[in-house]
């Protein structure tokens, strides 16, 4: 029950916001109220006389309306809402629905928890003129399922004349319905620990993208009853009506305002006290401007520590971070696929640790950690319209795995490392996304090696790195750049080194020999003498490093670390090339 206890706690901390239509995407609904949409507004005077009616635009914000426990989850049958309802309940065309609505509204109006708005609305509805009034107002095609919201002029000077904004009205119904529920059998609420009226139905539609799916429901009353474990549903769990309302309304409010939808799953991270937390799926530092980017690992770590401290200063040591992931396999059941709660300090430290270990240097952005979703797209996606994208079903499965790594400190899964390494072996399949794919691969590989104590990788090129795959990656970058330097501006074909990269990774020594022979025969003669000497010397230096390894490793398949060697050597070559061009230009001047 941890999720519901934290949601209930969140509601209690923010109960002053219940019923307030503020800056959030969706308001926090009071107890015995829901958030819905209205299609028609009817305006009345204090005596219940019709003033006007008009249609409500689809762009209008949703409204708060009172509901009973039964009406909040109604599907079929007769079950009216207490105040705002569909035309089918407000007109006398359907006598059963109309009578039920009038009876329920009359009981509330005549109770000690009445409100000045109720009498005018009841007077108007019992006049049975709603359809003719709508037609007179030009609304001739009102459907039975169109919901009406009420405005009553001149009855409540301290609150809004709009029923969906009047907090006094909300409070009146919550108090009234509490007396109704008090007549029910009292049970132990497993959320609060109090004895209270049991919730017979729980709210639906907590996560908007999952429709009417419920977190708590039970309808397995025949055949293999409750999977053979219980005779009745309340033997499994009993939740009080008020606790259920508060917890569900809090989750709905949080999901609408802070939930992030990735791959069809809703990822939610919050602090019950309402203090702002960083998103679990996105790094602390991302796409920083050229003036602010960090290019040294020590400075990057110090900046992460500074950001971490700025977050920690906003919290107390005992403050919690709650992380939950929701998904629905069917239209009726909403599943919590991941749940965790921890002290905010531990939560922030884990995020920082991930960003510190799963990061690499990008020639444009400096050092940064790729977003979790980007890692998944790079590992399992294909390029479409200039972006690498993976199937939604794959994204939501893999996203949760990486979430556990970032939030709980689990190790990087090797299958993700292998998948992204395989993608980089086929550079011809990518156009504009290749650079970011290689950067992401480097960050993931570095994270994996740190997790399993296999060593670290500097953000600058390490010419003496004791890793044969790393050195072969350097060689691949040199062979590619040497051939590209002979191209004119109109040539876009891939160099031999890149076209043969997948073979190179399998048989590096044999493939490198073939590529070098082609390079010496067809391309190096086209270069200036200075560039020929430069590339000959660099290739020789790399082969000297490779020859220091046992001969049985020279032609063995490469490990993923070749990508880091390739990426850093390539960046170094292009930087050096720019420096050489600038030197030549200054000498010419």
Residue found under tokens 């270069």: 527
CA dist 37 and 204 (Å) reads: 15
| 463 domain-assigned | no
Q: Indicate the number of domains in the chain.
A: 4
| 329 domain-assigned | yes
CA dist 349 and 357 (Å) reads: 12
Total-model pTM? 0.88
Of the candidates 462, 428, 457, the residue with the CA atom closest to the CA atom of residue 445: 457
CA dist 566 and 569 (Å) reads: 5
- Inter-CA distances, 41 with 122, 134, 146, Å: 16, 10, 10
Could you tell me if 312 and 399 lie in one domain?
yes
Tell me the per-residue pLDDT of 228-280, one tens digit each, with 9 for 90 and over: 778 788 778 899 999 999 999 999 999 999 999 998 899 999 999 999 999 89
Could you tell me if 316 and 381 lie in one domain?
yes
Pair 380, 392: CB distance under 8 Å: no
Could you tell me if 324 and 443 lie in one domain?
yes
Pair 499, 428: CB distance under 8 Å: yes
Is beta strand 320-327 parallel, antiparallel or unpaired with respect to 387-389?
Answer: unpaired
Mean pLDDT value of segment 534-560: 96
Could you tell me if 380 and 364 lie in one domain?
yes
Cα 155–chain centre separation? 44
| 461 domain-assigned | no
CA dist 101 and 118 (Å) reads: 13
Of the candidates 7, 103, 59, the residue with the CA atom closest to the CA atom of residue 323: 7
Could you tell me if 57 and 122 lie in one domain?
yes
Helix (H) or strand (E) holding 502: helix 501-506
Three-state SS for 303-344 is HHHHHHHHHHCCCCCCCEEEEEEEECCCCCECEEEEEEEEEH
Helix (H) or strand (E) holding 42: strand 40-44
Cα 453–chain centre separation? 31
Cα 69–chain centre separation? 31
In degrees and rounded to multiples of 5, residue 240 shows phi and psi of -65, 150
CA 116, 120, 123, 125 torsion-angle sign: negative
Tell me the per-residue pLDDT of 66-79, one tens digit each, with 9 for 90 and over: 999 999 988 888 99
- Residue 220 vs residue 321, higher pLDDT: 321
CB atoms within 10 A of CB 492: 7
Mean pLDDT of the chain: 91
Mean pLDDT value of segment 537-564: 96
Tell me the per-residue pLDDT of 466-513, one tens digit each, with 9 for 90 and over: 999 999 999 999 999 999 999 988 888 889 999 999 999 999 999 999
CA dist 173 and 163 (Å) reads: 12
- Inter-CA distances, 446 with 369, 411, 422, 463, Å: 11, 12, 16, 17
| 82 domain-assigned | yes
Could you tell me if 14 and 42 lie in one domain?
no
User: Which range among 36-45, 316-325, 360-369, 571-580 shows the weakest confidence by mean pLDDT?
Assistant: 571-580
Could you tell me if 426 and 487 lie in one domain?
no
In our burial notation (b when 16+ CB lie closer than 10 A, e otherwise), range 356-384 reads bbbbbbbeebbbbbbbbbbbbbbbbbebe
pLDDT of 212 above 90: no
Could you tell me if 53 and 151 lie in one domain?
yes
In our burial notation (b when 16+ CB lie closer than 10 A, e otherwise), range 153-186 reads eebbeebbbbbbbbbebbbbbbebbbebbeeeee
Could you tell me if 429 and 327 lie in one domain?
yes
Read off the pLDDT band of 417 (50, 70, 90): very high
CA dist 396 and 407 (Å) reads: 16
Of 151, 181, 211, the domain-final residue: 181
Is beta strand 387-389 parallel, antiparallel or unpaired with respect to 40-44?
Answer: unpaired
Percent of the chain with pLDDT over 70: 96
pLDDT of 428 above 90: no
For 26, the token pair is 């969706």
Pair 539, 517: CB distance under 8 Å: no
| 383 domain-assigned | yes
Mean pLDDT value of segment 7-17: 96
| 287 domain-assigned | yes
CA dist 280 and 82 (Å) reads: 41
Of 181, 204, 233, the domain-final residue: 181
Give the range of the structural domain holding residue 374, as residue numbers without chain letter: 260-451
Please state the length of the chain: 589
| 458 domain-assigned | no
Of 451, 477, 505, the domain-final residue: 451
Helix, strand or coil for residue 494? coil
Read off the pLDDT band of 178 (50, 70, 90): very high
């Amino acid at each position: 029950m941890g999720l519901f206890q934290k949601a209930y706690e969140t509601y209690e901390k923010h109960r002053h916001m219940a019923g307030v239509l503020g800056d959030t995407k969706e308001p926090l609904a009071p107890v015995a109220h829901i958030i819905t949409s209205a299609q028609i507004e009817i305006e009345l005077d204090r005596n219940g006389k019709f003033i006007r009616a008009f249609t409500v635009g689809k762009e209008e914000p949703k409204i708060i309306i009172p509901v009973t426990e039964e009406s909040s989850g109604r599907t079929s049958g007769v079950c009216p809402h207490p105040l705002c309802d569909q035309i089918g309940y407000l007109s006398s065309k359907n006598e059963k629905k109309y009578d039920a609505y009038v009876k329920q509204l009359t009981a509330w109006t005549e109770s000690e928890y009445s409100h000045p708005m109720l009498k005018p609305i009841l007077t108007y509805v019992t006049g049975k003129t709603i359809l003719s009034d709508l037609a007179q107002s030009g609304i001739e095609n009102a459907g039975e399922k169109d919901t009406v919201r009420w405005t009553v002029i001149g009855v409540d000077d301290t609150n809004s004349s709009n029923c969906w904004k009047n907090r006094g009205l909300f409070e009146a119904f919550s108090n009234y319905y509490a007396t109704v529920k008090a007549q029910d059998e009292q049970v132990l609420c497993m959320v609060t620990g109090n004895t209270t009226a049991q919730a017979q139905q729980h709210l639906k539609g907590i996560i908007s993208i999952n429709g009417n799916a419920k977190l708590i429901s039970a309808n397995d009353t025949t055949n293999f009853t409750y999977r053979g474990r219980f005779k009745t549903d309340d033997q499994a769990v009993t939740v009080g009506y008020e606790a259920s309302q508060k917890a569900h309304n809090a989750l709905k409010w949080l999901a609408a305002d802070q939930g992030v939808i990735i791959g069809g799953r809703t990822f939610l991270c919050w602090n019950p006290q309402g203090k702002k937390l960083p998103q679990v799926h996105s790094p602390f530092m991302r796409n920083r401007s050229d003036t602010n980017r960090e290019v040294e690992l020590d400075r990057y770590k110090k900046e992460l520590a500074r950001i971490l401290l700025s977050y920690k200063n906003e919290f107390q040591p005992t403050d919690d971070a709650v992380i939950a992931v929701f998904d629905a396999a069917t239209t009726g059941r909403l599943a919590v696929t991941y749940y965790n709660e921890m002290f905010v300090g531990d939560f922030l430290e884990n995020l920082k640790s991930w960003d510190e270990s799963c990061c690499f240097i990008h020639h444009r952005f400096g050092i940064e950690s790729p977003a979790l979703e980007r890692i998944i797209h790079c590992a399992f996606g294909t390029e479409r319209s200039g972006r690498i994208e993976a199937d939604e079903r794959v994204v939501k499965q893999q996203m949760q795995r990486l979430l556990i790594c970032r939030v709980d400190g689990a190790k990087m899964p090797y299958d993700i490392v292998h998948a992204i390494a395989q993608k980089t072996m086929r550079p011809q399949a990518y156009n504009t996304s290749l650079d970011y794919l290689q950067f992401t691969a480097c960050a993931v590989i570095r994270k994996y090696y740190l997790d399993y104590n296999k060593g670290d990788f500097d953000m600058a090129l390490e010419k003496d790195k004791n890793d044969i795959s790393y050195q072969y990656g350097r060689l691949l970058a040199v062979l590619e750049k040497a051939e590209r330097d002979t191209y004119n501006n109109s040539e876009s074909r891939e160099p031999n080194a890149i076209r043969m990269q997948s073979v190179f990774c399998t048989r590096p020594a044999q493939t490198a020999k073939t590529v070098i022979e082609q390079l010496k025969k067809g391309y190096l003669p086209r270069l200036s003498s200075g560039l020929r000497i430069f590339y000959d010397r660099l290739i020789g230096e790399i082969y000297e490093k490779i020859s220091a390894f046992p001969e049985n490793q020279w032609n063995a398949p490469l490990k993923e670390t070749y990508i880091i060697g390739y990426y850093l050597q390539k960046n170094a070559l292009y930087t050096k090339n720019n420096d050489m061009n600038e030197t030549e230009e200054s000498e010419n001047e």
